[in-house]
Chain A
Amino acid sequence: MTRLHIKNVIKSFNHHPVLQGINLDVPAGSIVALLGPSGCGKTTLLRLIGGFDRLDDGEILFDSRPMASSRLHVPPERRHIGYVPQEGTLFPHLSVTDNVAYGLSRSKRQGTRVAEVLALAGLSEFGNRYPHELSGGQQQRAALARSLAPEPEVILLDEPFNALDLDLRRQICDDVAAMLRREGATAILVTHDPAEAFAVADLVAVMHQGQIMQVDTPDNIYWRPANAHVARLTGQPIFLEGTLQHDAVSTPLGVLPVHSSYAAREGKASIMLRPEQITFSYQKVGALAQVTDRSFRGNHVLLTVTVQNKTLHLRGSPLSSPAPGEHVHLKVEGACAVFPA
């Protein structure tokens, strides 16, 4: 298993800086998600790791072996990587078996490895089919099987679930995570979907404007984002103004605890909560709010409420949520994140 080091990597295209000093360590055998909006540089970083593009400055190492720096460029075929792009991109002129065998040496093709990864991908019976005879999900699993077959040191997945529809996406997402864990591969997954990143990755690296804002576990990224950008990129945030007093903060929703990871300061601050931390209470506990709008969304309802002239968008159960005009009390569970005002 290989550990991946990325040190201060810089890359520009036509004088537009795309990566502005990226530092990232990927522990051996872990899956790291690069999460960010389109244009944040995440695919560029992936392509630099794969060796498809050259970096301007900085260094990329697999364990202690340098792969790329301003003076060195190991071509992709000598990096022992696996690569799964958005559309899977199976070789159209080869059968599934031949696709999977493509990266293996002549002797290994005769062995059991091809059958092994085909079984891992649940494609044992589809070996003789051609790519156009497979469904989208099967194509994606075959593409992953092909990249895993030569037992690469690092697997690079570039939004591999994007082309699939939502239901299939969740399923394939789980399948892929299971396959990667069974193989114990070090993997990097590029995605713009936080749910996908949280479901698959051990660590999530949030990218914004060519920089990595935070690298942490999914749990920490979601509840303890490093700044407002990370908070927005990882789910829906609710921002409030508050005043810090030691390890608590007073807000329009009452005095709330602050996550211990934030160095508590005195004075004004911006407070972040997730919508699901706020629930409706009929026991006259918590801040009084008025429901101004209720919009049905299937498995939940979207409620607009006003607290002390501040408008909040909350989720509620479609079975038991208050109606527009009703007064409710808002209860807050858990601690909140704090950013400088």
Chain B
Amino acid sequence: MSLLALAGVLRTLKTSLPPWWLIATALIPIALIALPLVYVITSATEAGWSGIRDELFRAYTLSLLTNTLVLAISVTLGASVIGIAVAWCVERTDLPGRRAWRVIASLPLAVPAFVSSFAWSSMGAQFQNMAGAILVLTLASYPLVYLPVAAALRGMDTGFEDVSRSLGRGPWHTFFFTILPQARPALGGGALLVLSHMLAEFGALSLLRVQTFTTAIFSSYELRFDNVSAAMQAGVLLLLALFAAYTEMRMRAGTRYSRVGKGTTRHPGLLALGRATPWVLLGQTVLSILALGVPIVALGYWLTVGNSAGAGLDGVWQAVWGSGTLSIAGAIVTTLLAIPLVLLATRFSGRLAQFADRLPYIVHGLPGLVIALALVYFSIHYVPAIYQSVLVLILAYAVLALPMAQTALRASVVLVPPKLEEISRSLGRGPFRAFVSVTLPNIAPGIGAALALLTLELMRELTATLMLAPTNVVTLATEVWSHTNDAEYAAAAPFAALLVLVSAVPVYVFTRRTLEAHSII
């Protein structure tokens, strides 16, 4: 490509700098995201070097670190192996009922991890330990690997496999040396997302009685809200989680839009399973029973017991009301905060725009618990009026759901060509009025969809809600957690069942998006 042709290409890139009002509004979510970091650094400074040393360099911290890493790494490995195996069977073999398995394999996402923990722990104390937690969380999170890998396998040119086979390599060799390397960005991205989730997981671990950083931070916090132990443990957890998120970002950087293949009709050769068919079918069935059957049967069982026990519906209404109002408010605030970030990232160049584009990865590295802790700290110290108010919880929701909002909005913003705004400018409207009169009406449907999706997703939120909700406010998630914690499984069941129903919609959207395109922020 000649220099001038290159210049022609560059011309079409975003070149202008963002207007001040966009920068100002984008700084609000960025400031919120910075709070956890500021919190950890402030607390560390207050504690001083000796304080940090006393807190961190002791056997307890080491045991937390060991537990956290053992759990996170085991679940990530387990989820990766299961995810790849399922993806390959569903996309590349003549497994009977492939279409049905494709959907069934992603359904465990509809069961929040703390709900499946409720199901398993209700069956007895033998699952309330590290091994049980690894089992439950692996089953709950393998779809995060399965979905992107399946999408990658589907988008892959089967020519490579044919060539490998023609060169005398068997199917196993072909899989490990031809297929897997191509699926690596998808696999790596999915696995690191699992890792981030595991580092941040609190609800499931507390119900399964496993001590990790999150559960330890929560107990320290329950003892004293400005606990130095909590802050220091949060610091270590933040380092781990940000590392995972950073690696995820590096992994995805070049591959995010690489496969948006448009309806090319290919007929990939499906591997004949032959005599292995019944065994593969058996494996899929067992997996589905464990990941989906057990939680649903347990839920059904406790629901009937609960009914016979005469559990009232009043509590359910109150929780539905709490979940509904909080998550709708959270979704609205999140969307409002996400719009300037998305505009920055899609319409402008410069460091801030680039940063806005990468913000979701940073948020992936912020455990909800640490966000909640930071908000408690800052509200008590600087704006006591809002402490214990719904506002603080909504802000936590806004940070947690920001990545999802950015993805959902981005999809509709990129459909509105920047040329439309330029024409509006040429016809005498300033940048802000151009946005309101042209861009906003055209992204309105996308905003609506984002709001619905975020509302349903926020209903599943447990950790921040537990820590920040005003004392008289309950949600479906907090009710499941507190009843299960007290071993009142029948009482928890109706709330858990409603949560699973509510989760189905975002899971459906997520599944479709992942299998169609390739990105899963």
Contact = CB atoms under 8 A, between A and B. Distances in A.
A and B pair up: yes
Interface of A: 13-14, 16-18, 38-41, 43-44, 47, 50-54, 75-83, 85, 87, 89, 91-93, 102-103, 146-147, 150, 152, 156, 209-210
Interface string B434-464: 1001100110000000000000000000000
Contacts, number: 97
Contact of A16 (B7, B420, B429, B431): B7
29 contacts: A13-B11, A13-B13, A13-B15, A17-B7, A18-B10, A39-B6, A39-B8, A40-B4, A40-B8, A43-B11, A44-B11, A47-B11, A53-B16, A54-B16, A76-B422, A76-B426, A77-B428, A77-B429, A77-B430, A78-B428, A81-B426, A82-B427, A83-B423, A87-B417, A89-B417, A102-B427, A150-B427, A152-B426, A156-B426
Contact of A92 (B2, B16, B427, B442): B442
B4 A209 contact: yes
A146 B419 CA distance: 14
- Tell me the interface secondary structure of chain A in the complex: loop
Contacts of A47: 11
Interface in B7-30: 7-11, 13, 15-16
B100 interface: no
B4 to A, nearest CB: 4
A187 B330 CA distance: 50
Interface in B336-356: none
B385 interface: no
B422 A38 contact: no
Contact of A85 (B11, B423, B431): B423
Interface in B249-308: none
Question: Chain B contact residues (Cβ within 8 angstroms of A): what range?
Answer: 20 to 34
A309 to B, nearest CB: 32
A43 to B, nearest CB: 6
A77 B426 CA distance: 5
B3 interface: yes
Contacts of A82: 426-427
Given A87-B419, A91-B420, A210-B4, A50 B10 contact: no
Given A14-B10, A75-B425, A91-B423, 8 more contacts: A13-B11, A38-B5, A41-B7, A50-B422, A50-B426, A77-B425, A79-B426, A91-B438
B67 interface: no
Interface of B: 2-11, 13, 15-16, 417, 419-420, 422-431, 434, 437-438, 441-442
B438 A16 contact: no
Given A83-B423, A83-B426, A53 B15 contact: yes
Given A44-B11, A150-B427, A16 B422 contact: no
Contact of B430 (A51, A75, A103, A147): A75
A9 B382 CA distance: 53
Contacts of B9: 39
Nearest to B437: A102
A10 to B, nearest CB: 13
Nearest to B4: A39
A118 to B, nearest CB: 16
A144 B431 CA distance: 22
Contact of B420 (A17, A89, A150): A89
